[in-house]
Structure 1
Amino acid sequence: MLEGELNDDSLSKIIDTKIHLNLEIDKDEMYWEQRARQNWLKLGDKNLAYFHICALARRKANTISKLVTEEEKDLFKTNGEADSCKVLEGIDRIITQEDNKFLLDPFQKKRSR
């Protein structure tokens, strides 16, 4: 049949064939979707279960259940000896003697600078 010879009967057959083909494709897709769902329900998602197990093990390993202090380290205690000069060595002095005297003077209600 040539392109120019298309009539109503041949167009009708082409449309019916396309509709039948689309229905068969839909049936095939539905079959494979049902098959995949059936396999998933039967076997589960093995990768998901594996990763959940790994995450649970990692969470358990990274959990801090308690803090233990060791007596010989005493990280947060002082022996009472501190040299404030050493602490202040790295800090530049930017307050002048005059400002320091003003700051150390007793508070007065009205004072001019």
Structure 2
Amino acid sequence: MQRLKQDLAEALREEELFWRQKCREEWLRAGDRNTKYFHNCVKGRRIQNRILMLMDDNDQEHFSEGAKGSLAVDFFQRAIH
């Protein structure tokens, strides 16, 4: 049973890799031109990489860009000292 689970997990990883490579291939073919496809890819990556919320030391959520920036600066200043 354990071997079947490992085989399934490996097959799923390979399928995910296949689709990533397929997407990359399409990007290389069409993404370097100023196309609608290129702009949608950029917009999608921007949305995917966005930090929506940060939590402070008191477990309070902060959504505004200013608050998130302040939390990040405070965090890294404390890490340095």
Q: Is the pair's TM-score, using the shorter chain for normalization, greater than 0.5? A: no
Range class of TM-score, shorter chain: 0.3 to 0.5
Larger radius of gyration between Structure 1 and Structure 2: 1
